[in-house]
Amino acid sequence: MSNENIKILIIEDDPDLLMVLSMYLKKYGMDTECVEDPYLGLSLLTQKNFDLIILDLTLPGMDGLEVIQKIRENSNIPIIISSARNDLTDKVIGLERGADDYMPKPYDPRELVTRIKTILRRTNAVAEKVHNGDFIVDNAGHNIKFKSKILDLTAAEFDILDILIQNRNSAISREQLLYESSHIDDSSSIKNIDVIISRVRSKLAKIDETKSYIKPVRGVGYILIDEA
């Protein structure tokens, strides 16, 4: 998915962070509109089209959790919570009210870019089925066929294999696999990726054991090679 013309609304009352995020996201072709007032942010949503919202929880006049609730009354736009309130209760309530992701401050802006790409790829998928060599990814059914057979995958395994298929013949780092998966906890060890990869490889081998489709790339991560 191209980042061209992606429109992002940032509701955040820290002007320094607004400047940093706006400048950083612009390098990736993402246009941002930044507001510190949650009421102004809600008003902008009725006037302009945005692809995604980055929302702080501690805002003047209205708590961010209430903002999520009001947004969800009229829109399914993706929401990433960006908050210094590193409280499990806030995270749970935010996700329950309809946020798509939760990023505790401070965080690396590079990770934010990855999270944005992941969410928009998932929510903006037009085609239900994507054919890619020996693999058919059914986004609507949340399953993957390999050589015409449906793989029995967990949600995390689906995410990892889907990412590898989308980046076929390109090396993907363990960190990217971790960050782009929506079903692996942020606190998971990078080594957990190796465990998930091992399970996926075993399931592929049950259908075709003539070659290894997923190969390790030393010092990087993994690559899916589909020669069909």
- Ranges of beta strands (E only) in 127-184 are 129-132, 135-138, 143-146, 149-150, 172-173
Q: Which domain holds residue 109?
A: 6-123
pLDDT at position 3 is 38
Residue 98 tokens read as 């309809």
Domain for residue 1, yes or no?
A: no
Percent share of the chain, pLDDT over 90? 59
Q: Which residue has the higher pLDDT, 75 or 124?
A: 75
Residues 171 and 113 reside in one and the same domain: no
Q: How far is residue 141 from each of residues 129, 153, 158, 181, measured CA to CA in Å?
A: 9, 12, 11, 17
Q: Which of 166, 165, 173, 141 is closest to 155 using CA atoms?
A: 141
Residues 114 and 20 reside in one and the same domain: yes
Residues 65 and 85 reside in one and the same domain: yes
pLDDT at position 127 is 42
pLDDT at position 129 is 58
Per the structure, the count of domains in the chain is 2
pLDDT band at 130 (very low <50, low <70, confident <90, very high): low
Residue with tokens 């080594």: 191
181 has a pLDDT exceeding 90: no
77 has a pLDDT exceeding 60: yes
Q: How far does Cα 165 stand from its chain's mean position?
A: 16
Burial (CB count within 10 angstroms: exposed 0-12, middle 13-18, buried 19+), residue 79: buried
Domain for residue 21, yes or no?
A: yes
Q: Which residue has the higher pLDDT, 184 or 128?
A: 184
Question: Which residue type sits at 82?
Answer: S
